[in-house]
Structure 1
């Protein structure tokens, strides 16, 4: 039982990969950037899910996937046209297929009514009538059985001439394989179709198929549920033998199979007339036949696979574990095979990451101990410690790369959110994604899914105008949501931008005053009004819907992003749209920091937020009011923030010019942090505080230094936010008055 559960878990993991490939292919088809191989890849993804589901008797999933692949097969054989309506049906059917996989994984029933609706839409794509076929004309009645005769349309499989295959020698680099394949009755009962397996083999090279009818019994002994046919196949391909076995993986145990190299020279085989494909099932309710065979795929002579990269997503082999066709790149050594991968339990990776974190702390402690000995700078042990530090950093970066994953699967999920939100609101919307290959820590991706979903729905519901309003404004009736990811200064920046009407700041202010979130006489800048959206319970929706109006606003997004050590900012232009910018750490384990002193305490500030250190002269400091100080630098005034005061320490008394750290927040605002001293720049291991101490304003985490001392990691964004919340001057740049001195001595 434990072994079966393990196999089942592996199947659902492979389904995730197949669904990703399916979404990628459909995305290319929707953008009209596809070719025939893209459609084939989409078809094989659905077929592979169906094949695996049949092995576990997931009949509802098998039935839906079968009808789905029937439409895809008709599309790739040019029987139907890829119209916008068909494309919409394919996208929504892929969403429902993902729901069915998830339901099967959790062993719960899927909505039968919703499934029936999707089956109806798929049947409409084929031009089928759901009612039973009308009786035939007079004379069509079968006198033997008394049934009405129905004409079935199907295409015969087009096999290459046997004499051509026999006389041609394998090309250079090709191996000729002989495959003996005899299905058992259970293979058909699970919804598998040999023709589709043969088509997969044909994609690997040049294929010759011979039908073996020697097992057919007499008419009296014939069992309709039995399996009597077999096939002998000869395949010339540059792929290794293991790839051929992968094509039959989902039918292992359901057939008699032999695969091996063919003799060096094959005589012309005895070949019967061309084998015809099994007829397509009669139109009707597929639920009555959940394991009906799929539509046949033409077996044509295929040349060797092109080594050039495809514009379409890599094709998936029928019955494989989500295997993608890959060609070796220059850095892979040109081995000619796919890049090997290994599944590793995430808990093991986490233990390795923790061990590497302790290794870095240990390295820092050894380095500190060596420094305390005051050895000569050319001492050999110092050289060894430096090598140790570099090696520890290399190990850390390698381990972090194991957890790093591209954001592409997350972005693909957002395409579905846009479709569902557009249908719920009656708007037209599409998602454009950029930077899908950007890699982020796996934990960051998992915990970002919910806030990003909320932002996408918010963009469709509140950001985009309706069709009539967009046409009146001279815009495309279909709105665009742009989702982008990029690396910047040790962080990953994710932006969500819509091309809607922008924020209605007057309405936002009115709502905030009505909810007593701000006073009616408060003077707020545009940026401060925009940030009101992040206050708890704030919503501008006039009525409750499935998407908005329940008081669960963008504060949920902000809290989720803040919990990841990130920040979210908002910008908007009337009539042009709104953009949300999320900044997140690349990893939640290690960072580069600057060690500083504040009020006698050793602390660390992320070096990515520090622009420069400044020792200002007396003429660079200016006062505003009774307590505010401004720094004059490069023709503008920047606010100065006393870190000690923000953290509750006594205010600095010295009249000497302070040491300043010029930092930039995620809202692109610069300010100067007052500190006592800057000691070092080093890599530190992040240790969370929330589980033991809760959220601490101005502090994001802690770390252990080389001397064993615990240092708090400061959050520059939170320090500036706390300053605003405490009633101090808003953080913004001031233009200096004419003739004001501007200059600073830089450390």
Structure 2
């Protein structure tokens, strides 16, 4: 079955829309921050205009109508008729959100947003009535004669002098062809505006044997006659802006194209067209290239859109390759071959190639969190408007890259957390003023890499968690005993219990007891965890820790009580063998270690995982010093370190749910299944027992 080419073009259009909407949000954010540069405003206008042009090609009439009205208001902003006031910027953001809804509705074939007309009317009211053109500029209607003389020479123009004439110089860059654009279509669209005379020149083209087929050698000089404005001409070239040389000016002469491709100027070229096609092309080839625009840089990257399903299949194949490589290494080791043998050397080269391939595949799947953060900016705007609060979102670390699967599955829990920060975390503007704070609340959304994981934080500058109220609600609902003694961290953890809510009324944002427990379940299904820190009067911070990827990781294989376990290498700071002088008793059942003047808690992996009782002595034991999410360290005691290798991650969440201290499982080279540990989660739920009770009492 032949695939519809128009369906592919349509799909490409919607992908480009997402990119244009991202530029639109970036430019509006810059304007909100005080950047009123005309070029920044033009970026907003061009994004809307480009979406409108593409939507018109596919007859997406609701999107075209919305974009046209939005574009008209933006034109008033460009011309200075409208000022970027705070109210106007707020409405621009709302219109950008609605345009995103229109794009997705057109893509999915659903109904568009219902409140679009209300936002556009508010914008149009801020812009004021459109500027009227003076009567002198309105041309009197002139009937045009239709010539049907098919024998006439098409190169001879009508003897009647045109009312307006333009000269257009158009020279594509190589990036124009690389992005699938065709100059012929542009020239045909230009001919639809009036009578055209086109001449092609290729003065810089080398001999055929030296010609680079991927370079751009052709240029066109067009004379256009008709009732046409310069904006109409530029609109034809909207989709190739930045990937071509384009000059437009009033016609002032005629050019004749010689058979060799050289352009002979019979009259002086007008000042607006100061780059002759014949003489300027060699100068562009030999001189320093002009600085490319943002659009040109994006086009010159020569990106290729690939279905995510194909990438997922490639990731799975790489995972199987890693497993087979481990099995092959195991077989070579069991055969007792010398390390310098040809087989061992070939295996080493194979391992290096496997690692390079795995790293490359992971880079393909990695994407910055910026689009996700932009979605959260909309959540903040809508949530604050719904409850009458003034809130600003401050993103940090938008360029932090995360596995695409993680980003997609993180959207819902992050939405819950951002809404929770706006609704529960921040006070009303009046309460903030009474507390000596600005009326506008601040929600900071932060992303970073730490300890081989991705850390995403949602922080507000509100009143913090009212722990007395949380405890009171938990007791009233029978979640804890009235005489229970809880630490601040344990009280904060009550927010994650199913059905728990501090809201006194049910609203559009909260109050039904569904939220934070769903967040924790969603994060745990990704092999992550979520924690809370809060200071009364200063605000709260929710931290999400996630694995960098869900496919392959570097791990250290250790042995504990006869079991093989894997500890992520990114979590390990160093390894060491303990001596009796390093070990200190702390309490009846716990040891700590003194390392270079610092005290580090000691955890016995065998005891914490239920494999055995604490040892009688840890003198000579091997420990792994691991870094935790909060920057602190912990020492994990193991029996032996076996090897360091790449392992393929196999999730356990669907079959077994969340297992404290266990992130996933893997298949080792000998076919044995080993658990992949999460040191930070293990320490969080650990008992810390490294001394047997009987020994503690005796000592």
Distance in 2 separating the partners of 1:529 and 1:562: 20
State the match for 2:176 in structure 1.
242
State the match for 2:103 in structure 1.
101
Contact 1:591–1:684 (8 Å) recurs in 2: yes
State the match for 1:65 in structure 2.
67
Q: Which runs of 5+ in 2 are unaligned?
A: 148-161, 204-218, 233-246, 250-271, 276-283, 691-699
Deviation string for 1:564-596 (max 9, x for gaps)? 122222222222222222222221111111111
Distance in 2 separating the partners of 1:155 and 1:499: 59
Contact 1:611–1:664 (8 Å) recurs in 2: yes
Cα gap change, 1:266 to 1:587, in 2 (>3 Å): closer
State the match for 1:85 in structure 2.
87
1:593 match: secondary structure: strand
State the match for 1:344 in structure 2.
306
Counterpart check, 1:680 vs 2:643: yes
Contact 2:164–2:228 (8 Å) recurs in 1: no
Partner of residue 8 from structure 1, selected from 7, 10, 29: 10
C-alpha deviation, 1:344, in angstroms: 0.8
Contact 1:605–1:714 (8 Å) recurs in 2: yes
Contact 1:156–1:277 (8 Å) recurs in 2: no
Partner of residue 434 from structure 2, selected from 456, 472, 489: 472
C-alpha deviation, 1:632, in angstroms: 5.2
State the match for 1:361 in structure 2.
323
Deviation string for 1:381-426 (max 9, x for gaps)? 3222222211111111111111111111111111111111110121
Cα gap change, 1:667 to 1:508, in 2 (>3 Å): farther
Partner of residue 463 from structure 1, selected from 407, 425, 432: 425
Partner of residue 31 from structure 2, selected from 29, 42, 48: 29
2:606 match: secondary structure: helix
Contact 2:554–2:569 (8 Å) recurs in 1: yes
2:16 match: secondary structure: helix
State the match for 2:513 in structure 1.
551
State the match for 1:708 in structure 2.
671
State the match for 1:43 in structure 2.
45
C-alpha deviation, 1:504, in angstroms: 2.0
Tell which has more relative contact order, 1 or 2 (C-alpha 8 A, sep 6+).
1
5 Å-filtered alignment, 1:633-644, equals 633=595, 638-644=600-606
Distance in 1 separating the partners of 2:174 and 2:568: 50
State the match for 1:439 in structure 2.
401
5 Å-filtered alignment, 1:407-556, equals 407-556=369-518
Contact 1:542–1:549 (8 Å) recurs in 2: yes
Deviation string for 1:146-202 (max 9, x for gaps)? xxxx96569979xxxxxxxxxxxxxxxxxxxxxxxxxxxxxxxxxxxxxxxxxxxxx
Distance in 1 separating the partners of 2:345 and 2:376: 50
5 Å-filtered alignment, 1:123-202, equals 123-128=124-129
Identify the structure with the greater helix proportion.
2
Distance in 1 separating the partners of 2:41 and 2:421: 31
State the match for 1:118 in structure 2.
119
C-alpha deviation, 1:628, in angstroms: 4.5
Cα gap change, 1:678 to 1:246, in 2 (>3 Å): same
Distance in 2 separating the partners of 1:400 and 1:599: 34
1:666 match: secondary structure: coil
5 Å-filtered alignment, 1:297-376, equals 307-308=290-291, 314=294, 324-326=295-297, 338-376=300-338
State the match for 2:546 in structure 1.
584
Distance in 2 separating the partners of 1:32 and 1:673: 51
Distance in 2 separating the partners of 1:443 and 1:48: 30
2:301 match: secondary structure: coil
Distance in 1 separating the partners of 2:345 and 2:485: 59
C-alpha deviation, 1:277, in angstroms: 7.2
Task: Please give the TM-score of this superposition, normalised by the length of structure 1.
Answer: 0.72
Distance in 2 separating the partners of 1:497 and 1:730: 34
State the match for 1:136 in structure 2.
none
C-alpha deviation, 1:272, in angstroms: 7.8
2:69 match: secondary structure: helix
Contact 2:661–2:677 (8 Å) recurs in 1: yes
Cα gap change, 1:272 to 1:378, in 2 (>3 Å): closer
Contact 1:216–1:229 (8 Å) recurs in 2: no
Distance in 2 separating the partners of 1:722 and 1:690: 18
Contact 1:480–1:498 (8 Å) recurs in 2: yes
Distance in 1 separating the partners of 2:554 and 2:121: 56
Deviation string for 1:673-720 (max 9, x for gaps)? 333222122211111223444443432211122222221112223323
Distance in 2 separating the partners of 1:467 and 1:121: 24
Contact 1:605–1:716 (8 Å) recurs in 2: yes
Contact 2:164–2:227 (8 Å) recurs in 1: no
2:300 match: secondary structure: coil
**Structure 1 vs Structure 2 CA RMSD:** 3.8
C-alpha deviation, 1:70, in angstroms: 0.7
Task: Please give the TM-score of this superposition, normalised by the length of structure 2.
Answer: 0.77
C-alpha deviation, 1:472, in angstroms: 2.1
Contact 2:230–2:248 (8 Å) recurs in 1: no
Contact 2:558–2:566 (8 Å) recurs in 1: yes
Cα gap change, 1:514 to 1:660, in 2 (>3 Å): farther
5 Å-filtered alignment, 1:567-716, equals 567-618=529-580, 620-621=582-583, 627-631=589-593, 633=595, 638-652=600-614, 655=617, 657=619, 658-716=621-679
Q: Which runs of 5+ in 1 are unaligned?
A: 130-149, 158-212, 219-227, 279-297, 315-323, 328-336, 732-747
Number of residue equivalences: 602
Deviation string for 1:637-683 (max 9, x for gaps)? 65544433443434355545444333333244543333322212221
